[in-house]
Amino acid sequence: MQEECAIVGIFNCDNASLTSYYTLFAMQHRGQEASGISASNNNKITTIKGQGLVTKVFSKKKLKKLKGKNAIGHNRYATAGKDSSDDSQPIFARYDLGEIAVVHNGNLTNAHTIRQTLIAEGSIFQSNLDTEVIIHLIARNKKELLTTRIMQVMHEIEGAFCLIILSRSKMFVMRDKFGLRPLSLGEITNSNGSIGYIVASETCAFDLIGARYIRDVDAGELIIFEQNDTKEPKIISIKIFQDNHRPCVFEYIYFARPDSIVFEKSVYGVRKNLGKQLAIEHKLEADVVLPVPDSGLAAAIGYSQQSKIPLELGLVRNHYVGRTFIEPTQKLRELKVRLKLNPIKEIIANKRVIVIDDSLVRGTTSKAIVELLRKAGAKEILLLISAPPTISPCFYGVDTPNKKELICANKSIQEVQDFIQADYLGFLSLKGLELAVSKDSYHYCQACFDGKYLHDIDNNTL
């Protein structure tokens, strides 16, 4: 398993490194373990990266060292049990055509096989990242043009990837043939009236810097940005693979910020639809609807509106504690549930409460929440999940546990209810998920819910 991350690319923009910094800050929710930026001034690429939040890694002094009008950046998402000191991005390399830096969001399903082949042929790896596999494939290719090498690499790698590659004078942006991970394109107007461009994992990054959303980078598309004699850079779009969109539905359920447009839809709007559909499928009697903050809030609003049961913010979140789902160890996850949420007793005591959460993975977080509500005096606790049961691990960039740790893969819904000690447990159906999300031509990847993967999974990945 690799990590769910945030990536950004800035081209032909005043102070590109500072702009990258702000966009990474806006997407901090997608990765809290490490951050990095590479900037190019057309002659040299400079990279600064480190462990920690964006504000910890970068200072004014460091940002001043990142000179140039082109830059790429990355936020890294935590993975269990690994020392990430060598695994932060961007990855920088010197090779026969010059210098490049690469950032990657996703997970290559054939990375292990390619890595072992490269090692057998003499390649040396410095990290555990799939990104380094891509660097080696580019460097070892004998084609004269970087564009040709990248196009060939896109045919060699499999799985989920959004990639941004920065050379000294160009920027290459690409998305896998299924478009599993999100990547959007926007336009920036510089102080002198010239046009710059941004690509980022989520459009909330555009809002912070005043960029205008243009469109999503298409599935299987390669976009090349290069300097031009005019004020506006030259952009070349090459369709490497035909349309076969299968974007990850879990982006809507959990990861993306509600103020983002992901896969051309409002995340907030989709989450409200999930809650409304949940109310249609689970008609319960209760005194109050309580969201588990923050990602359960929009679904709870939708449930409340559909069911006519009043919504109350009975669980208060401490925003200075990170997400429990992405904590590297089980012990830390359990501690942070208690640090993260505090019940308002006067809202909860002697009430039948419907609790809306976005997902149930291991079950330990839900169990801790039920315990909190019991101690706050809840008369009855009805837990609803605005997603189907998670029965399969993700191999496309979301750090879900292996199947043995997924409680719904190993227990019936009644057994899970008994484990978390709720009075009722209900999930959104697969059909309900499709009704809430798929009101267009897209068919979403929902392998974590139905076990139907888009690729043959590398045995070593399993």
Report the binding-site residues for [4Fe-4S] cluster.
248, 394, 445, 448
Q: Can the peptide bond before residue 389 be classed as cis, meaning omega within 30 degrees of 0?
A: no
Among candidate residues 428, 130, 80, the one with its CA nearest the CA of residue 279 = 428
Of residues 315, 255, 302, the one with CA closest to residue 32: 255
| Catalytic entry in 5, 13, 204, 408 | 5
- Residues within the annotated binding site for Mg(2+)? 295, 357-358
Residue that has been written with the tokens 């964006």 in this structure: 54
- Give the number of other CB atoms < 10 A from CB of residue 27: 25
Distance (Å, whole) CA 275 – CA 132: 40
Quote the tokens at residue 155. Answer: 């045919």
Separation CA 30–CA 24 (nearest Å): 9
Provide the 10 A C-beta neighbour count for residue 279: 22
Binding residues: 248, 295, 357-358, 394, 445, 448
**Whether the Cβ atoms of residue 168 and residue 45 lie closer than 8 Å to each other:** yes
Is 5 tagged catalytic? yes
For the beta carbon of residue 333, count every other beta carbon within 10 angstroms. Answer: 20
Measured over the CA atoms of residue 209, residue 214, residue 215 and residue 218, the dihedral's sign is negative
CA 65 – CA 51 distance, rounded (Å): 18
**Taking phi first (over 0 means left), then psi (-120 to 50 degrees means alpha), and beta for anything else, what does residue 415 get?**
alpha
* CA 321 – CA 9 distance, rounded (Å): 28
What is the set of active-site residues?
A: 5
